[in-house]
Amino acid sequence: MPIVKSVNGNKPQIPNSCYIAENATIVGNVTMGEECSVWFNAVIRGDVHYIKLGNKVNVQDGAVIHATYQKHPSNIGNNVSIGHNAIVHGCTLHDNVLIGMGSIVMDNCVIESNSIIAAGAVVTQNTRVEAGSIYAGVPAKKVKDVSPELLSGEIHRIAENYVKYSSWFKED
């Protein structure tokens, strides 16, 4: 059973259409949209501020979503993929965003729609990633624009695939 726990009277709100892996942890003031998935060893910790996920958000294995005490919640739009071992902390991710494996998005960042944060990138505090951009590196900088092929072939494809993958686990 996943750990789903209330903190300070705030209980996670998780629709039945979501898949939560057996060893995932979701605590506190967390609200999830429809068809989300939280994978093995992922943690969504809404203890110090709220965390809100839109529809079709996948939080892949080992990823962490947290917030900043009394300052920065985490707001995540629709069709967002948060890659394996990524950290999303006290920031805003708009719709159709891909956060690459092992990347870090820090406090008070805004990642606008249709953007990609490359694997291993570190998006430093207060950075605003403009819509349709790819950011990479440490610290992350814009490297190019997202092409229509990347938008459909990566951002949309991964979000849809994780809805499909989660259905395999729900069957058992």
The domains of the chain are located at: 3-170
Pick the CATH number of 3-170 from 3.30.420.40, 2.160.10.10, 2.70.70.10, 3.30.830.10: 2.160.10.10
Mean pLDDT of 2-19: 97
Hey, what are 95's tokens? Answer: 């719709």
3-state secondary structure of 116: strand
Q: Report the chain's mean pLDDT, rounded to a whole number.
A: 97
Contact call for residues 89 and 68 (beta carbons, < 8 A): yes
Hey, what are 17's tokens? Answer: 């259409």
Q: What is the tens place of the pLDDT at every residue in 51-75?
A: 999 999 999 999 999 999 999 999 9
Cα 3 to Cα 25: distance, rounded to the nearest angstrom: 5
Q: What is the tens place of the pLDDT at every residue in 71-94?
A: 999 999 999 999 999 999 999 999
Q: Which helix (H) or strand (E) holds 4?
A: strand 3-5
Cα 74 to Cα 50: distance, rounded to the nearest angstrom: 7
Residue 171 has pLDDT above 90, yes or no: no
